[in-house]
């Protein structure tokens, strides 16, 4: 009897990854890699900017502040041909404080006063070559002390209501308005005029005059 041909057995093949393809190819350029940009210019600009801001911080306030006081005597006002006669009457002086003119027969004693002095007596002091420093009554106490320290021996310091400046220094025929006790022109004025150069009696003194500012005019001590 003949042999029967049997069919070939079949096997289930489990699923798996797809067959690997050809390897991935990366293309590399043969040209050199361009250099990274430098940060030096940016840093330099930042430094320059900071420097400019610093300069402006210093310069701008200089333009905003008031002009400095000139250290000279160009602002001194001069008055010539002033009368030297004595009078027991009150005098209406054209300047304030007065710089000279008719005045009381007696003068004020030298020194520092804490209340206004009689002008007619103070003008007699000017005739003797005295320096009269008048200040605004509202001036700070420390500034008044500074003026007292600067006052020459032949000088008078007293408050003066209605001044157009914080401090006014006067000798016979010469006067200068000051911005304060620390005005550098005060020392210049004293060196130039403090010796009585402009006074009719430059070698006289204010010593021995009346001390009470309210004393009646024409009376003596």
Residue 152 CA to residue 193 CA, distance in Å, equals 11
Decide if 200 is inside a domain: no
For residue 135, being part of any structural domain is answered with: yes
Q: Nearest CA to 195 among 130, 108, 122?
A: 130
Which range marks the domain in which residue 160 is found? Answer: 77-193
Within a domain: 117: yes
Structure tokens at 34: 């361009």
Q: Which of the four pLDDT bands, split at 50, 70 and 90, describes residue 220? A: very low
Chain segment 85-99, per-residue pLDDT in tens: 999 999 999 999 999
Number of domains observed in the structure of the chain? 1
Instruction: Say if pTM beats, i.e. exceeds, 0.75.
Output: no
Residue 18 lies in a domain: no
Cα torsion through 112, 114, 118, 120, rounded to 10: 30
Q: State the pLDDT confidence band at 83, using cuts at 50, 70 and 90.
A: very high
Top-confidence residue, 214 or 221 = 214
Residue 39 in any domain: the answer is no
Of the pLDDT bands very low, low, confident and very high (cuts 50, 70, 90), residue 174 is very high
H or E element at residue 148? helix 141-150
* 31, part of any domain: no
């Amino acid at each position: 009897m003949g042999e029967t041909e049997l069919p070939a057995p079949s096997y289930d093949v489990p699923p798996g990854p797809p067959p690997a393809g050809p390897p991935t190819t990366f293309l590399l350029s043969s040209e050199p890699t361009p250099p990274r940009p430098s940060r030096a210019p940016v840093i330099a600009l930042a430094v320059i900017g900071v420097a400019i801001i610093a300069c402006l911080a210093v310069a701008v306030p200089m333009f905003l502040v008031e002009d400095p006081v000139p250290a000279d005597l160009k602002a001194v006002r001069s008055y010539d041909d002033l009368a030297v006669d004595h009078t027991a009457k009150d005098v209406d002086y054209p300047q304030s404080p007065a710089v000279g003119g008719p005045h009381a027969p007696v003068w004020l004693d030298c020194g520092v006063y804490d209340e206004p002095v009689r002008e007619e007596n103070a003008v007699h002091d000017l005739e003797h070559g005295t320096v009269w420093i008048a200040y605004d009554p509202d001036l700070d106490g420390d500034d008044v002390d500074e003026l007292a320290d600067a006052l020459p021996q032949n000088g008078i310091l007293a408050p003066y209501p209605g001044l157009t400046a914080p401090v006014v220094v006067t000798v016979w025929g010469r006067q200068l308005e000051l911005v304060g006790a620390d005005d550098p022109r005060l020392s210049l004025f004293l060196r130039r005029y403090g010796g009585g150069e402009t006074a009719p009696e430059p070698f006289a003194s204010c010593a021995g005059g009346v001390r009470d500012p309210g004393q009646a005019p024409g009376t003596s001590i």
